[in-house]
Structure formats: structure tokens, C-alpha cells
Amino acid sequence: EVRMVESGGGLVRPGGSLRLSCTASGFTFSSHSIHWVRQAPGRGLEWVSSISGSSKYVFYADSLKGRFTISRDNAKEEVYLQMNSLTTDDTAVYFCARRSQALDVWGQGTTVTVSS
Amino acid sequence: DIQLTQSPSTLSASVGDRVTITCRASQSIDDWLAWYQQQPGKAPKLLIYKASILESGVPSRFSGSGSGTDFTLTISSLQPDDLGTYYCQQFNTYSSFGQGTKLEIK
């Protein structure tokens, strides 16, 4: 079964950091780019970042202003999202998704809450 | 940044109706557009990719069209399970989503 599972969410203070993980299974992991997408409470989907299969190409939403870093470990079949200088605007459910022609396999999401 | 603008923002329709949602890009994205359905409390589900190609397992009542800057998602005969919010996403330059169209069943 093809699966994506996010972990690492939780409650963090403003200005703090958090690292999310996305664990994949059931497909050739290194052949696919992986994307992070977030959804603030009651809001729409916001594309966050992506990383190619070889890690050669990484992209970020301009709004993140260099605070987030995406990486992957193909041996572990994991992708990571390091999030620094968090603000209340970063409160959201964070999804990881596999890209084939589009984002065809999604995880269930992990919740990040930034609050004092 | 490429901006995607969906219309309408909300839509109420009856079972059996033909429903159309549009997505307009701020610059040409060729056919690098996908459509998703998101039901409450769930992850998005891919419906259409490359503007008009139906994802495997998606009912044939869903169809997509367009290229360049103007795109359309059509549901030919609305079913009760089609309620949810629909999003377009572009892959031409990095990526971005439209703001969503909430579809309600009358």
C-alpha cells in the first residue's frame, strides 16, 4: 500500500522551532518529488515547499522568507521540514504529498500550533 | 508568484445539476494545472492533472479543460458525495493553489 505519514507536530511558542517528518512506503521513494502543503484553521490550502527525488531541486513559497528548510533521506524514505522563527500565522495542519503528475498521494496531516 | 483565482467562492447546486468551477492564472501556465476535492476533515484528493487528464479511479462525471491562463472543472451530474471544497493548483513555476470553491448540495 502506498502511504505517506506525517509526524512531529505539536504546540510551540512564538519564535520557536519544530521539525516535521514525512515517512513514505509502498513506492520507489527516490523517484518522486515530495511537497509540503499547509492549511490554517478554516482556511484554504497553501503550498509550502518541495524537494526533488535527488534533493537537487528545492523550492519554497516566497511568504516563508527563508525560515523553513526542506530535506530528505532516501535511505530512510523520509522527508523533513525544519521550521524556525515560528509565528502564530504558521499554525496549521501540515500535509506531505507525493508528486507524480500532480500530488496523488497525501498523508493525513500533522497539526502545528504556535501559541504562547 | 503565479496567482490562481477561482470562481465562484461558494456554490450551491442540486443533485443532477451540471456544475462548473473556473480557475484563472495570473500568467500562462500551459497545462500545468491540477484539481483537487477536499471533504471536511480529510486530505485533498486528486481529480484531474495536466488540466484535462482524469486521475485513475475518479468518476467520469468529472472533467477538466483549458490551457494558458483559463481553466475549468466540470461535474456533469452532481452527486451527494461531491460536496466539499475544490482547489486548483499550478505546477508551472514552483507551485500555488487557488483560494478554493466550496460546493454545497441543495
- pLDDT, tens digit, 9 for 90 and up, residues A40-81: 999 999 999 999 999 999 999 999 979 999 999 999 999 999
Is residue A26 predicted with pLDDT exceeding 90? yes
Pair A71, A79: CB distance under 8 Å: yes
Non-local (6+) Cβ contacts of A30 within 8 A are: A53, A54, A74
A109–B91 CB contact, under 8 Å? no
For the record, the C-alpha cell of A44 comes out as 484554504
Task: Give B-chain residues touching A46 at CB under 8 angstroms.
Answer: 97
User: Which of B91, B92, B101, B102 is best to mutate for the A interface (most A CBs within 10 A)?
Assistant: B91
- Calpha distance A20→A70 (Å, rounded): 10
pLDDT digits (tens, 9 = 90+) for B19-33: 999 999 999 999 999
Residue A65 confidence (pLDDT): 79
Residues of B with CB under 8 A from a CB of A: 1, 34, 36, 38, 43-46, 49-50, 53, 55, 85, 87, 89, 91, 94-100
Mean pLDDT throughout B75-82?
97
Per-residue b/e over A76-95, b at no fewer than 16 CB within 10 Å?
ebbbbbebeebeeebbbbbb
Backbone angles phi, psi at A88, to 5 degrees: -60, -25
Task: Give B-chain residues touching A37 at CB under 8 angstroms.
Answer: 44, 97
Q: How confident is the model at residue A106 (pLDDT cuts 50, 70, 90)?
A: very high
| CA A66 from centroid of its chain's CA atoms | 15
Q: Which of A15, A7, A33, A4 is nearest to A83 (CA)?
A: A15
Mean pLDDT throughout B84-97?
96
Under the phi-then-psi rule, with left for phi > 0, alpha for psi from -120 to 50, and beta for the rest, what region is A54? alpha
Mean pLDDT for chain A overall = 97
B34–A59 CB contact, under 8 Å? no
